[in-house]
Amino acid sequence: QLQLQESGPGLVKPSETLSLTCTVSGGSISSSSYYWGWIRQPPGKGLEWIGSIYYSGSTYYNTSLKSRVTISVDTSKNQFSLKLSSVTAADTAVYYCARQPPRITIFGVVTPSLNWFDPWGQGTLVTVSS
């Protein structure tokens, strides 16, 4: 059963860089079938997609965060990572990593796709404060 686990500092100072890692177990991040994503949720608020990555390194970012976000993948460690620079209090949130399942045709052809998110990691709270 695939599991995802976020890890990283729970407290980051304003103007510094937030760094998180998502470790995938029960499956290979190198599978050509999946995209992998980061989503965040400020306390008491809704969900915001941050970005997604394919095992090859192709990335897609939320335009509102693009100038500050870098997502990378380390296939040797079965991990992918998030860096968010120049953080402010507005970046305080629970950060989730998740997998994006592929499309499978009726003929069984599997195509990696940027679509829904399943499963999700349990999430990690990152607070931006001095």
Strands (E), 8-92: 11-12, 18-25, 35-41, 48-54, 59-61, 69-74, 79-84
Site string for other proteins, 78-117 (x = CB under 8 A): ------------------x-x---------------xxxx
C-alpha dihedral, 39 to 40 to 44 to 46, nearest 10°: -40
Q: Which of 16, 20, 54, 52 is nearest to 34 (CA)?
A: 54
Q: Which is nearer to other proteins, 79 or 124 (CB)?
A: 124
Kindly identify the residues of this chain, within the stretch 17-56, that bind other proteins according to CB under 8 A: 37, 46-49, 52
Supply the minimum distance, in Å, between the C-beta of residue 20 and other proteins.
Answer: 15
Q: Which is nearer to other proteins, 52 or 79 (CB)?
A: 52
Q: Which of 55, 20, 64 is nearest to 36 (CA)?
A: 55
Supply the minimum distance, in Å, between the C-beta of residue 122 and other proteins.
Answer: 6
Residues in the site for other proteins, rule: CB under 8 A?
A: 37, 46-49, 52, 60, 62-63, 96, 98, 114-123
